[in-house]
A and B are shown apart, each in its own frame.
Chain A
Amino acid sequence: MFPVQILSTILIPFVAAFCFFHSPASGPNPLPILTCFIVIPNLAAFLIMASPEKWTRWISLFTASLELGIAFRVFTLYQTATGGFQLVEQVSWLNNLGIQYLVGVDGMSTLMVLLVACVYFAGTLISWSISMRVKEYFVLFSLLVGGVAGAYTSMDLFFFFLFYEFAVLPMYLLVGIWGSGRKEYAAMKLTLMLLAGSAFMLVGFLAMYFTSHVHTFDIRVLGDLSQTGFNQNFQDFWFPLLFLGFGVISAVFPFHTWSPDGYGSAPTAASMLHAGVLKSLGGYSILRVALPALPQGARHWLPLLVFLTIINILYAAMVALKQKDFKYVIAYSSVSHCGAILFGICTLQVAGLNGAVIQTLSHGIVAAMTFALVGTVYGKAHTRELAKLGGLGAAMPVLGGLFVAAAMANVGLPGLSGFVGEFLIFLGSYRSGFHGGFDVFQVLFPTAVLAIVLTAIYYLRLVQIVFYGPVKDPHIKAEAKDGTFIEILPIAFLLAVSLAVGLYPKPFVDLSNAAMAPLIDHIGGFK
């Protein structure tokens, strides 16, 4: 009976939301689709507060499925042939300050909307086993999603910043209250470092706002100003600051240490949502704001900043080799993969940028899947210490098999999403290095390819330690059981998404290229 209830709570709202909205070409939608996407999780938060506790999970699942339906609708509604921002909704807000509520999606944010919905959906199911302060947990969780949903669809920098801050604060409480280990320390560290990053971001936004004589936060207008509005000195000064500010969010070296501690302590769904969605906001913002507005600064600085990102890729992979905690390995792997995203951006080449976008999507899905697996295994084995784990494959064949799949997705095996992103990034870096882009890539291209070996080493080591070999701890053997339906479902769902991207990447790359090709033309990047 239980799976039937779950499946109907998923399918009914999903199909309803998908069918409710139609193409703007055939008349206006009864409700603005993107605003619905932002408002529904926030609304759910209030609904959960007002209803009895036994409804909490079901409301949350219902909302997540609604969001998934909307996201798939957005995905199908976006016309790659037309390109540009679509489904735009605009409301004047503070006109004399140039602030307006302006949401819309281009190809890149369409993918991000899909990512947010997928991770939200999977995270809700994974949180089913939460038993402490259930209502508060799901309220914060929904608010967090509302924040990121807004950040990925805002075209106005003011609202972008606002939504981002909305997302960070629930994260602090989620880690601090429902976390494990040194949770207070981790929560504080994560929040402070992210806020420091956003301080850079805010100052950068304000500098752009005041320097441009138009006084606007509309990113389309700021992008157009890059040629006339911002002079070389301004761009050279502000680009690295913005890059590092956004970089902190994506855990760029040396501002990455919040990530392992934060993810190590966060509850499973919070790690999933943070690694999958919030962390990607760094790379996304560079592509969305920093590159279009400050292209000359980018050309000047990227050949230097790229060294930080290559450190991310290789150094984090090396550090991951020596971790003693299951979840820390995944956290460092996430740092390494985010490095690859930023590395792709630094190529300033069209394939590299597309690779960065696809890698963002892929890393989001795959990191969420891996964290979900770690959390589920932890819930059964009651320890994350690698020294105590071992031979779990016999007790948990399905979870073990899924973990191997997740490891392979991280390793960049063709057929799963990781390969597409990585491959495009490598293509971009080769092209940038050898065809009139940044010469540094002649050295960095082969260096970055080393990552495919290092990643394989630490992931397979992890698979071996945790799932292979004989069982080390008899207590674990007695208690460990394979995943239940509700645990397997979200992981299998994320795996299916990763497979879809990996097996037939064309629709996804078409979407990202609909945003990246004009961007490259606009900023004079490399082809």
Chain B
Amino acid sequence: MIQHSWLIPGMPALAYAVIVLFTRRFKALSAGISILAMAACFFLSMGVFQELAKLDPSARTVSFSWTWLQIPPWEAHVGVLIDPLCANMLLVVTLVSLLVQIYSWGYMHDDERFSVYFSYLSLFSASMLLLVVANNYLQIFIGWELVGLCSYLLIGFWYFKPEAADACKKAFVVNRIGDMGFLMGVITIGMMFQTFDFAEVQKIVTQGLSDHTYSTTFIAGIALLLFCGAVGKSAQFPLHVWLPDAMEGPTPVSALIHAATMVAAGVYMVARTYTLFSADPLSMTVVAWVGGFTALFAATIAVAQDDIKRILAYSTLSQLGYMILSLGAGGYTAGMFHLTTHACFKALLFLGSGSVIHGLHNQDIWKMGGLWRKMKVTTLTFAVATLAIAGIPPFAGFFSKDAILDSVHNSAVPGHCVLYYMGVFTAFLTAFYMFRLFFVVFTGEPRDHHAHDHAHESPLNMTGPLVVLALLSLCVGWLNWPGVGLYSQFVHYGSVPEGAASIGVLLGQSWPTLLLVVAGIALSAAFYYWKVFSAEKMAEKFRPVYLLLKNKYYFDEMYGWLVKKVLFGLASIFHWFDEKIVDDGMVDGTGWINQKMGGLLSLTQTGYIQNYAWVIFAAVAVIFFCVSF
């Protein structure tokens, strides 16, 4: 199986080409090809995983490559690297892609550009899988840029909506800012170490660090350049602004790209290049703090949002922050484990919200309410996902989040205590805003009766994936059951991390967090279910804080000002300079001078023989004068 693993990105790429070139006019056929290719990918990934798991733990790295271009002695490759990290990611990406594609069949059924949509999804899967199987820095960058393109195309899928047109541009440009750093990092690696290969770079760096050829600060510098890319793609502060806007795309796209897979690519990349990051405390500290800050920062914003998808988007930011924090704090396994569980429950949350939007044709939570009467499956599965993200045992989120907090607690990063409490507080906020969403949307009385009357449960091809994901959101956490730790033994960096010895010990050490989470749920219920307190009055009382949160700390305004005033201002100056000074002044000026000179000289061409005779006489006189003295 492993030797055929290049087919995993290959098949969706082929599906893309076939749909674009041949089957654009046949809706069902296009979708069928796309889904079939994805299903094949999923089974192939299962096969790869199985084969890898059978190997001896020390031999679980298989890599092969082809030359992509060469300027002797230097070469760049495309290749495949299968190891536990990659196999984990392959399963996540192919499974979520498959489920989202099946779901999309129902969700996008009435769209005119149904085939185009599926071709984009196939292209996305191909690019994402190319990134996942990459065995070198250049290839991961190539996949990285291509998923950026797909994200652009899919956010702007309804390009005639001005908001979507703005959002896709913003996403691409903001990502490019991060990629600038990433590209510089990749180039530095390629030119310093004369190779892009992960394994070889790891060898050279380890060697170079031990004999002091390279300083740890230098390696940290490279790692931080790479991290710029992760900050962009995983929407970490301060490049987080694109992700909430990306919600303009179709909801299944948000589930697949902007929740489960692409945005996690930044986390994956940091894990993939962990040798560079772990070389120096500086890079680890920066990573941990960026992640921890984003986790808290985004959670506070999520509390005050009204759009169902935007709440989920900020929650994604916050959870990605957790993963980054974990990696920075040295919790490699915990970070990747959270990526895996998060992919399940966050995809479920988005697909559930899609089901709601499909039924109501609305995204404002204050126009929903009491939906559990109409949409039983959606409500039930959404509840499972909400419990999972809040971190209630035995749902998946509990295990992974606890592992993260545990690793932060035991970390050596400066200020890890502060980071730990930030993480715990974020858990409290998460429970609060997620249950706020749940209570407002699914319980109570309908707020908009007209919409409510038309609401209906979604068809089977949409609820089917919901149920599968709900089961996963319940069970995936058990992969790392305390005392057994299958996941930790499979995916780890260096030695296998020690988790709690048994479930009792785990609950024993995590009860303060759990208590806070329950308090968050209770508070949320008090506000939005029992309505003991009034949320409006609270908002009125703390109006400045409420406005600050509701307006997302005014980051969009600030960046908007930077672009409009600073960038376009500079462009205006350059434009003026180009038009007036260079073109009108220098170029046309040269022409003007030539014309005038010609005009002046033409005065000498009078046509009168006498004038010419005078000139000849004068010239002869001057020559005579010069010669004789």
- Asked if A pairs with B, the answer is yes
Kindly state the separation between the CA atoms of A393 and B153 in the bound complex, as whole angstroms. 13
Q: Is the CB of A257 within 8 A of B583?
A: yes
B131-148 interface with A by 8 A CB criterion: 141-142, 145-146
- Residue of B152, B570, B578 contacting most chain A CB atoms (<10 Å): B578
Chain A residues 226-241 with CB under 8 Å of chain B are: none
Task: Jot down 21 A-B pairs with beta carbons below 8 A, ordered by A.
Answer: A193-B587, A256-B582, A318-B575, A321-B567, A322-B572, A351-B74, A391-B160, A394-B160, A414-B142, A415-B142, A430-B188, A434-B191, A449-B184, A456-B176, A460-B168, A468-B160, A470-B160, A470-B162, A505-B69, A506-B68, A513-B71
B286 at the interface (CB under 8 A from A): no
Are A452's CB and B180's CB within 8 A?
A: yes
A461 touches B (CB below 8 Å)? yes
- Does A305 make an interface contact (CB < 8 A)? no
Whether the pair B71, A350 counts as a contact (CB closer than 8 A) is yes
Q: A461-B169, A506-B69 are in contact. Are A427 and B190 (CB under 8 A)?
A: yes
B575 with A426: CB separation less than 8 A: no
Contact among A414, A467, A504, A510 for B145, CB-based, below 8 A: A414
Give the Cβ gap from A334 to chain B, nearest Cβ, in Å.
15
Give the residues in chain B near A323, CB-CB below 8 Å.
575
B484 to chain A, nearest CB (A): 42
Which residues of A from 171 to 229 have beta carbons under 8 Å from B?
Answer: 189, 192-193
Q: Is A431 an interface residue (CB 8 A)?
A: yes
Q: What residues on B are CB-neighbors of A456 within 8 Å?
A: 172-173, 176
Known A254-B582, A318-B574, A427-B191: A460·B169 in contact at CB below 8 Å: yes
Residues of B within 8 A of A (CB): 67-72, 74, 113, 141-142, 145-146, 149, 152-153, 156, 159-162, 164-166, 168-169, 172-173, 176-177, 179-180, 183-184, 187-188, 190-191, 567-568, 570-572, 574-575, 578, 582-583, 586-587, 591
Top 10 A-B pairs ranked by shortest CB distance? A468-B165, A414-B142, A322-B575, A321-B571, A468-B159, A318-B574, A257-B583, A460-B169, A509-B69, A505-B69
Chain B residues with Cβ below 8 Å from A102 are none
Q: Does A354 contact B (CB under 8 A)?
A: yes
Interface centre among A322, A413, A506 (most CB of B within 10 A): A322
Chain B residues whose C-beta falls within 8 Å of the C-beta of A382 in the assembled complex: none
Tell me the bound Cα distance from A512 to B251 in angstroms. Answer: 46
User: Given A315-B574, A413-B145, A427-B191, list of 15 further CB < 8 A pairs?
Assistant: A253-B582, A318-B571, A318-B575, A322-B571, A404-B153, A413-B149, A414-B141, A430-B184, A445-B184, A460-B152, A464-B166, A504-B68, A506-B70, A509-B71, A513-B70
In the complex, chain A residues whose CB is within 8 Å of the CB of B176: 452-453, 456
Complex Cα gap A256–B173 (Å)? 27
**Contact in complex: A321, B568 (CB < 8 Å):** yes
**Contact assessment for A318 and B188 in the assembled complex, using a CB-CB cutoff below 8 Å:** no
Interface 0/1 of A448-470, CB less than 8 Å to B? 01101100110011011001111
Residues of B within 8 A of A192 (CB): 591
Report yes or no: B146 in contact with A415, Cβ–Cβ below 8 A.
yes
Whole-angstrom distance between the Cβ of A444 and the nearest chain B Cβ: 13
Are A467 and B68 also in contact (CB < 8 A) when A415-B146, A449-B184 are? no
Q: Among B67, B191, B572, which residue has the most Cβ atoms of chain A within 10 A? A: B191
Judge if A408 is at the interface, Cβ distance under 8 Å.
yes
Q: Is A420 among interface residues, defined by CB-CB distance under 8 A? A: yes
Interface centre among B166, B187, B582 (most CB of A within 10 A): B187
Q: Write the nearest CB–CB distance from A383 to chain B, whole angstroms.
A: 20
Residues of A within 8 A of B191 (CB): 427, 430-431, 434-435
Q: Within the complex, which residue of B72, B149, B159, B179 is in contact with A467, where a contact is CB–CB below 8 Å?
A: B159
Rounded to whole Å, the gap between the CB of B182 and the closest CB of chain A is 10
CA distance A452 to B166 in the complex (A): 19
**In the bound complex, do residue A453 and residue B575 qualify as a contact, i.e. CB atoms below 8 Å apart?**
no
Residues of A within 8 A of B180 (CB): 449-450, 452-453
Q: How far is the CA of A429 from the CA of B371 in the complex (A)?
A: 60
The answer on a CB contact under 8 Å between B173 and A460 is yes
Docked pose: A450 CA to B68 CA in angstroms: 26
Known: A350-B71, A415-B146. A430 touches B571 (CB 8 A): no
Flag whether A446 is at the interface (Cβ < 8 A): yes
Is A319's CB within 8 Å of the partner chain B?
A: yes
Nearest neighbor of A454 in chain B, beta-carbon distance:
B567
The reply to whether A453 and B177 contact each other, CB–CB distance below 8 Å, is yes
State whether B71 touches A354 (Cβ < 8 A): yes
Whether B173 contacts A319 by the Cβ 8 Å rule is no
* B residues less than 8 Å from A449 (CB atoms): 180, 183-184
Q: Is A486 an interface position by the 8 A CB rule?
A: no
A517 at the interface (CB under 8 A from B): yes
A467 to B152, CA, bound (A): 14
Distance of A460 Cα from B142 Cα, bound (Å): 19
Residues of chain A in range 498-527 having any CB-CB distance to chain B below 8 Å: 504-506, 509-510, 513, 517
Question: How far apart sit A408 and B187, CA to CA, in the bound complex (Å)?
Answer: 21
Judge whether B187 and A427 touch: CB under 8 Å. Answer: yes
Contact partner of B71 among A351, A391, A430, CB < 8 A? A351
Give CA–CA (A142, B179) in the complex, Å. 43
In the complex, what residues of A have CB within 8 A of residue B145's CB? 413-414, 419
Neighbouring A residues of B173 by C-beta, 8 Å: 453, 456-457, 460
Least Cβ–Cβ distance between A128 and chain B, in angstroms: 23
CB A155 to nearest CB in B, in angstroms, measures: 24
Closest to B583 in A: A257
Point out the residues of chain B lying under 8 angstroms from A419, CB to CB: 142, 145
**Which chain A residue lies CB-closest to B581?**
A254
Query: In the complex, are the beta carbons of A420 and B159 less than 8 A apart?
Result: no
Complex CA–CA separation, A380 to B72 (angstroms): 49
Contact of A446 among B68, B184, B571 (CB under 8 A): B184
Contacts of B172 on A, CB cut-off 8 Å? 456, 460
Q: How far is the CA of A253 from the CA of B71 in the complex (A)?
A: 30
* Chain A contacts for B567, CB-based, 8 A: 321, 457
- Shortest Cβ distance from A423 into chain B, in angstroms? 8
Cβ-closest chain B residue relative to A323 = B575
Residue of A at shortest CB range from B572? A322
Chain A residues in 8 Å Cβ range of B69 = 420, 505-506, 509
Query: In whole angstroms, how far apart are the Cα atoms of A409 and B161 in the complex?
Result: 25
Specify the chain A residue showing the minimal Cβ separation from B159: A468
* Bound complex: CA A355 to CA B172 (Å): 25
The 8 Å CB contact of B187, one of A318, A430, A464, is: A430
Residues of B contacting A256 in the complex (Cβ-Cβ under 8 angstroms): 582
Residues of B within 8 A of A189 (CB): 587
| Residues in B whose Cβ lies below 8 Å from that of A261 | 583
A254 touches B571 (CB 8 A): no
CA distance A318 to B239 in the complex (A): 22
List residues 101-149 of chain A with CB under 8 A from any CB of chain B: none
Residues of chain A lying within 8 A (CB to CB) of residue B146: 413-415
- Within A336-361, the residues touching B (CB, 8 Å) are 350-351, 354
